[in-house]
Structure 1
Amino acid sequence: MNRNSIIAILGIIVGGLLLAVLILASNPAADHDEHQHEESTDHDEDFPRGPHHGRLLSQDDFELEVTIYETGIPPQFRVYAYQDEKPLPPAAVQLEMTLLRLGGRREQIGFKPVDGYLLGDRVVEEPHSFAVKVEATFASKTYSFQYSQEEGRVHLPPAALESAGISVETAGPAEIERVLKLPGTIEFDQNHLAHVVPRVGGIVVEVRKRLGETVTRGEVLAVLESRDLAELKSRLATARKRLQLARSLYRREEQLWRDKISAEQDYLRAKTQLAEAEIAVATAKDQLEALGLDTDQAKHSVNLARYELRSPLNGTVMEKHLVAGEAVKADARVFVIADLSEVWGSFNVPANDLNRVRIGQQVRIQAPELGYETQAVIDYLGALVGEQTRSAPAHVHIENPERRWRPGLFVSVEVIEEKIAAPVTVSLEALQTWRGNEVVFVQSGDEFEVRPLKLGRRDTNKAEVIKGLVAGERYAVTNSFVLKADLGKAGATHQH
């Protein structure tokens, strides 16, 4: 490498060093510890800035540099005082600040001197959007300053609000429910369910009810012809005839014995035969009544083999297992009748949650796919824990006059453990995330301002507000994400 090349390279290096020094000198606050949000800096030149990159307020030879420090700590005002561009001792300045926020909320901030600056005595809550009034006293002279800064606000007139489908609600008191969520199913009410069996074998000659039809108690479902039934009816008829003869013989022998014409032994024999005949009739009647037959009607029946299968309750035919001409056995389940006006919501309670559930507790049953919801109370909680499931069965009674709750439907069960009165609540639908905080958009006129919240207990619909919102303030609920999107487009910046 020749001498001219070395000189050229050295010149480039020296020029680069000089340029770097000039860049650092032109930005003395680049290494300063005052934190700025890493967002758009389009507005950095909207107002004068001081050595700490804060807003510079000037009057005569007195200046205040206002910053908000929030690196690793909650945001607080730090104010630096100058006279003739020279720093003043913080203790030499008395300072007060008033913040006027959207909706007329006022915040008064006092200051105390610390190392090199005046420190505000309260946290500056987000968003940092407010009109500011500053009163400073130095050397027996009072200086007043005013300025405003905006962030986290969206302007939306009523027409645009309606077009975006944004609904607004008022924050206020409500009950927060603590619930235990469990899966469940709709089942038949076992107290209103009947398996219909013939109780006598026979041949189906007529089926009167179809699957899904409504029936009433005592209504004929099907007609069978049964040889066994014919034999029982014949046995009853024979027993009744024998009873008539035995009764007639008894009356004749009783009269002859009283007239001392026949022996007492004949009278006693006739009495015994009468008792046996009565027993035979009673036995035959019991056998027929056990089949659900009216023995008085059976006495006048022409077809001894005819057997009418009747419904034992009011309800709906849920199952049908017979057709005309089919032979059925006495214990065959031919119909299932269910009264669907009341059903069960059944669920299992895990063993580790049993201390949270009790009989009589309020329960909310939901079928989200169908949009159904109802409330009931726990009517049954099993005394045993299943070996396989490690849970105890439970159910509630659900009134079902419109037959909407169909057995077999999967449902969500919410056991309400307690209800807590919260002074201020918001809808969960309204919550959005902004700078790592849960927020709502509070309305004031045509303006919506993002409001970070400190939330407490919550249920499926509402959350308790501990800090950030007061009762009576109105906030966006439905489609509030539209406001968040508009806020992102606006590029909300800190103007510290």
Structure 2
Amino acid sequence: MNKRQTVLIVIVIAIGIVLGGLILTWEKAAVPETTHGSHGKADSPHAPHDDHDDHDEAHSSSHAHKYSETGNAPTADKNTERGPGKGPKGGKLFTTDGFGVEITIFEKGVPPQLRLYLYENGKPLPPAAARVTVTLSRLGAPAQVFNFKPEAGYLLGDQVVEEPHSFDMAIAAEHKGRTFRWGYNQIEARVEMPDEVLKSIGVEIRTAGPVTIRPTLKLPGEIVFDEHTIVQVVPRLPGIVTAVYRHHGQHVKKGEVLAVIESQILAEMRAQFLAARKRFGLARVTFEREKQLWEEKISAKQDYLAAQQALTEAEIASDLALAKLRTLGVPPEAIHQRGDLARYEIRAPNPGLITAKAIAQGQTLKEDTAIFTIADVSTVWAQVTVYAKDLEVLRLGEKAVIRSTAIDVEGAGVISFISALIGVQTRSATARVVLDNKDGHWLPGMFVTAELVTEEIEVPVAVSVDAIQTLHDWSVVFGRYGQYFEARPLKLGRSDGRMVEVLNGFSAGEQYAAGNSFAIKAELGKAGASHDH
């Protein structure tokens, strides 16, 4: 009996050792080999944003990012009772009655894609062992149904998982004649904001839709004088400068005296005019007398005709002397004066700004010396630099908006000239825009930017430029869905600075936040939203 008891005890001990080893092996298989909490880990696909698992409790009350997970299939499996666990591949592991599906989102080097791994009793199954479909439901969008095909060790979804990864997920799997169903949801980049809060922070609600985009070409330029209004002032007579009244940088009116000179030649011309005028007066008296004598038959007709010829010659000489004085710019009231015959007033031929001066008191001038340069600044040019690649879109007569880069000045004009040559050094051409400057806001030498509308394009979907925000390296708008705003990453197209074309990510008729949309982004920051791509 003692020997038999000893054998039984040895057998019981051996069975205990074997069972203990099996239990340890089973527990080891149930523990994930690796955990990957970030989309950015190399060779490590993951469940949708499972990097937030450790923070579920901290974010449970946040509208910006919170997890809610439930296992829908009734089962005694412990993992299902407490929600999905983390699988060997770092994803969400759903199990019922020993059958499990691990869901990951993989995006290393590829657009985000669903990858599923199958398990039975903790051991991997080949991807063809089950048929799985996944349905994603998002705010304001139709449900997205994913079908899968077997790959090397996993099932690959047939669509891209668009950002943000904020959705309700429903999983249906068929395995060995049974159907398994699970579900969970995750929220990202979402905030709740009622209407009264929107009004208080200045957020506007607008609707995306078709618009006409007018892309603008922005080119650098400079304000210069209108060359057509620049005049050179010369004395027209040699002489000595006795007075200078206007100087560089001053505005002058037409006819205003700029300087005074004394000219001997002018004195002689005035003397000739006065003599010619005197002779003309005497010739007229003689002609009147001879005419009367001839009519009374007292004198011969020959004397009358001679007096008439003398009158005509005196008149011609007087008119010629007067014309010479007028061509010199001598005003009519000064022509007949008998005062200082040598005094010559140099007057402004046009209104404008004195841009150059080369005269001083006491200086001896020649008749062709340029002593003043006057530019009429009531109109100016915007001299615009046009790069070779942009020459094709420019047209004469095209409207342009000119803005100063230094001060708040804006004006509009049309392109009046495009040079036909490209500069050797600058490799650019020049365009000219004529600007009205009666108010004097445009100053020559001022740097400007020219904005030209190159075309008009009808686009099916566009949003306001002020609605675009940057979030997690995305360009987003915050779409409005009931009381919630959620980020929608966009692929943008052409813009005119006011509206921007939406190529992908938003549909016509959807509402979005504009105006002070940054306030919504700030609210997300307060809520602690994160995205560890």
| TM-score normalised over the length of structure 1 | 0.75
Question: In structure 1, what is the equivalent of residue 512 of structure 2?
Answer: 473
Question: In structure 2, what is the equivalent of residue 97 of structure 1?
Answer: 135
Deviations 1:403-437 (A, max 9, x none): 22111222233443213244314538945474xx5
CA drift at 1:83: 5.9
The 5-angstrom pairing of residues 438-449 of structure 1 reads: 438-440=474-476, 442=478
Distance in 2 (alpha carbons) for counterparts of 1:479 and 1:117: 41
Asked if 1:427 is matched to 2:465, the reply is yes
Query: Judging changes above 3 Å, is the alpha-carbon distance between structure 1 residues 188 and 263 closer, same or farther for their aligned structure 2 residues?
Result: same
Match 1:402 to one of 435, 439, 442: 439
Q: Tell me the SS of whatever aligns to 2:279.
A: helix
Deviations 1:381-405 (A, max 9, x none): 3456667766554311112233221
One-letter amino acid matched to 1:427: V
CA contact (8 A) 1:203 1:325 kept: yes
Asked if 1:269 is matched to 2:279, the reply is no
Distance in 1 (alpha carbons) for counterparts of 2:55 and 2:253: 86
Distance in 1 (alpha carbons) for counterparts of 2:515 and 2:281: 91
Asked if 1:356 is matched to 2:393, the reply is yes
CA contact (8 A) 1:430 1:476 kept: no
Question: In structure 1, what is the equivalent of residue 382 of structure 2?
Answer: 345
Query: Judging changes above 3 Å, is the alpha-carbon distance between structure 1 residues 484 and 356 closer, same or farther for their aligned structure 2 residues?
Result: farther
Q: Tell me the SS of whatever aligns to 1:43.
A: helix
Match 1:43 to one of 40, 49, 53: 53
23-32 vs 61-70, which deviates more?
Answer: 23-32
Distance in 1 (alpha carbons) for counterparts of 2:425 and 2:300: 77
Query: Judging changes above 3 Å, is the alpha-carbon distance between structure 1 residues 485 and 189 closer, same or farther for their aligned structure 2 residues?
Result: farther
166-175 vs 289-298, which deviates more?
Answer: 166-175
Deviations 1:144-183 (A, max 9, x none): 433223455689999x999xx9987857465544444443
Query: Judging changes above 3 Å, is the alpha-carbon distance between structure 1 residues 42 and 118 closer, same or farther for their aligned structure 2 residues?
Result: closer
One-letter amino acid matched to 1:35: P
One-letter amino acid matched to 1:439: S
Distance in 1 (alpha carbons) for counterparts of 2:333 and 2:282: 20
CA drift at 1:285: 0.8
The 5-angstrom pairing of residues 104-143 of structure 1 reads: 104-115=140-151, 119-135=156-172, 143=180
Deviations 1:445-494 (A, max 9, x none): 99875543222224566642211234532268787998699599865247
Q: List gaps (5 residues or longer) in structure 2.
A: 1-26, 37-41, 57-83
Question: In structure 1, what is the equivalent of residue 531 of structure 2?
Answer: 492
Deviations 1:347-403 (A, max 9, x none): 354566443322111223232222433332101234566677665543111122332
25-34 vs 260-269, which deviates more?
Answer: 25-34
Question: In structure 2, what is the equivalent of residue 68 of structure 1?
Answer: 105
Asked if 1:79 is matched to 2:110, the reply is no
CA drift at 1:134: 3.7
Alignment identity in percent?
A: 38
Question: In structure 2, what is the equivalent of residue 191 of structure 1?
Answer: 228
319-328 vs 222-231, which deviates more?
Answer: 319-328
Q: What is the root-mean-square deviation of aligned Cα atoms in Å?
A: 4.5
Question: In structure 2, what is the equivalent of residue 330 of structure 1?
Answer: 367
Query: Judging changes above 3 Å, is the alpha-carbon distance between structure 1 residues 341 and 373 closer, same or farther for their aligned structure 2 residues?
Result: same
One-letter amino acid matched to 1:272: Q
One-letter amino acid matched to 2:531: A
Query: Judging changes above 3 Å, is the alpha-carbon distance between structure 1 residues 213 and 449 closer, same or farther for their aligned structure 2 residues?
Result: same
CA drift at 1:80: 4.3
Distance in 1 (alpha carbons) for counterparts of 2:242 and 2:340: 13
Deviations 1:15-47 (A, max 9, x none): xxxxxxx9999654689965249x995736975
Asked if 1:418 is matched to 2:455, the reply is yes
Distance in 1 (alpha carbons) for counterparts of 2:161 and 2:279: 108
The 5-angstrom pairing of residues 223-262 of structure 1 reads: 223-259=260-296, 261-262=298-299
| TM-score normalised over the length of structure 2 | 0.71
Deviations 1:56-102 (A, max 9, x none): 2245555432222334432222334556556487575463413234x
Query: Judging changes above 3 Å, is the alpha-carbon distance between structure 1 residues 492 and 215 closer, same or farther for their aligned structure 2 residues?
Result: same
398-407 vs 200-209, which deviates more?
Answer: 200-209
475-484 vs 178-187, which deviates more?
Answer: 475-484
CA contact (8 A) 1:441 1:448 kept: no
Match 1:308 to one of 329, 332, 345: 345
Deviations 1:172-221 (A, max 9, x none): 46554444444322111233333333322334444444554443333333
Query: Judging changes above 3 Å, is the alpha-carbon distance between structure 1 residues 438 and 426 closer, same or farther for their aligned structure 2 residues?
Result: farther
Count of aligned pairs between the two proteins? 468
Q: List gaps (5 residues or longer) in structure 1.
A: 1-21
One-letter amino acid matched to 1:108: Q
